[in-house]
Structures are given as C-alpha cells and as structure tokens.
Structure 1
C-alpha cells in the first residue's frame, strides 16, 4: 500500500478485529466482562452524554461503533510516530504501541468516568487489559509491516 496513513487506518482496524476475537476468551476467563468492556464504557459515557440510561442492546450497538472508530484512529496515530520504531523487532515495536494504548486508556478512563476506579478491579482484569492492548499493538504493527514495505535505496 503506497499511502502509509491508509495502511495505518487499515492496520488499526485489523488490530481491533484481533482484539474482538480475544474478548470472548477474556470474558470466559474472567467469568464476566471487565469494567473496561466496550459496552460498559459506551453505557457509562453515552448515558451521561444523552442524559438517559442506555439499554444493554443500545450499549452493545454503540460499543461496536466506538470500537470501529477508535481502533483505526489509534492505528493512524501509530502511523505518525512509528518511523522511529519500524527497525525494531515486531514484538518490541508492537508491545510499545500496546503500552501506549494502555497508558492512554488508564489515564482516560477516570477523566471520562468511563469505568469503575481501577483500584476496584481484580488482578486478572488488570492483566487482561495489558494483554488486550499488547495484542492490539502487535497485530496492528504486524499489519503495518505487511502493508507498508520500507523502500530501500537503489545501489
């Protein structure tokens, strides 16, 4: 793909898709969706925004829409800064992206009152948040590497 920003958008969407597959495993492992599940965030934030309590069905639909926008936008942001890490190994570069997403979410959740306070989460919920952001990062970076081939100068 010639346009690195289009590639970054697609890579973020693919990373989001991979995360969607992991959610089923995460929820089964925890026995419930964690406080940072997209539908919980959608319900919390959008219920305040719309000034009415959202139903679970509405929250699930909004969660899909939020993920569909959020992941590709994260991919585009990564596309702007990844030039410095594109020579790193896939794992190092991808985990760095995942850690960036983790830091952003950990800072944003309390600001937007999107989740219960992090000190009320179980250890497993914290571990799964790290795991899912790492998976997003590695899959997004792997997709970027597949879509954008670095041009080597002709000798």
Structure 2
C-alpha cells in the first residue's frame, strides 16, 4: 500500500478485528465482561453524556461504533511513530504498541470515569487487559509490515 496513513488505518482496524475473537475467549474465561469491556465503557461514558441509562442493546451498538473508530485511530497514531521501531522484531515492536495502548487506557479510564477503579478489578481482569492490548499491538504491527514495504536506504 503506497499511503502509509491508509495502511495504518487498515492495520488498526485489523488489530481491532482480532480483538473480537479474543473478547469471546476473555469473557468466557472470566465468566463475565470485565469493567473495561467496550459495552461497559459505552454504558458509563455515553450514559452520562446522554443523561440516561443506556439499554444493553444500545450499549452494544455504541460499543461497536467506539471500537470501529478507536482501533483505526490508534493504528494511525502508531503509523506516525513506528518508524523508529520498524527494524525491531515483530514481537518487540507490537508489544511496545500494546504497552502504549495499555498505558493510555489505564490513564484515560479514571479521567473519563469509564470504568470502576482499577484496584477493584480482579487479577485476571488485569491480565486480560494486558493480553488484549498486546494482541492488538502485535496484530496491528504485523498488518503494517505486510501492507507497508519499507524503502531500502541507499548510502
């Protein structure tokens, strides 16, 4: 793909799509959706914004919309900064992206009152948040590498 910004957008969308599979496994393993599930975030944040409680169906629809925008935008942000890590191994570069997303989310959740306080989450919920951000990072970076062929540098 010639346009690296378009590639980054697509890569973020693919990374988000990969989370769809992981979310099913996560919820089944936990026995419930964690506080940071997109549906729960939509319910908290948008419910306050709209001044009413969202139904489960509404929250699910908004969660889809939030993910559809959020993942590709994260991909585009990564596309702007990944030049320095594109020579790293896929795992190192992808996990770095995942850690960046994790740090951003851990900082943003309390600011936007999007979730219950992190100290109320179970250990498994913390592990799953790390896992899902790492998967997003690795899949997004793998997609970027597939879509964007680096130009060889000449001396």
**What TM-score bracket applies, with the shorter chain setting the length?**
over 0.9
Residue aligning to 2:74: 74
Residue aligning to 2:147: 147
Residue aligning to 1:114: 114
Where does structure 1 differ by over 2 angstroms across 4 or more consecutive aligned residues?
A: none
Q: CA RMSD in A?
A: 0.9
Cα deviation 1:100-119 (Å, max 9, x = unaligned) = 00000000000000000000
Residue aligning to 1:42: 42
Question: Structure 1 CA distance, aligned partners of 2:33 and 2:154?
Answer: 52
Residue aligning to 1:124: 124
Residue aligning to 2:16: 16
Residue aligning to 2:31: 31
Question: Structure 2 CA distance, aligned partners of 1:153 and 1:115?
Answer: 46
Gap runs ≥5 in structure 1 = none
Cα deviation 1:104-138 (Å, max 9, x = unaligned) = 00000000000000000000000000000000000
| Number of equivalences | 155
Cα deviation 1:69-92 (Å, max 9, x = unaligned) = 000000000000000000000000
TM-score (norm 1): 0.98
TM-score (norm 2): 0.98
| 1:152 Cα offset (Å) | 1.2
| 1:31 Cα offset (Å) | 0.4
Gap runs ≥5 in structure 2 = none
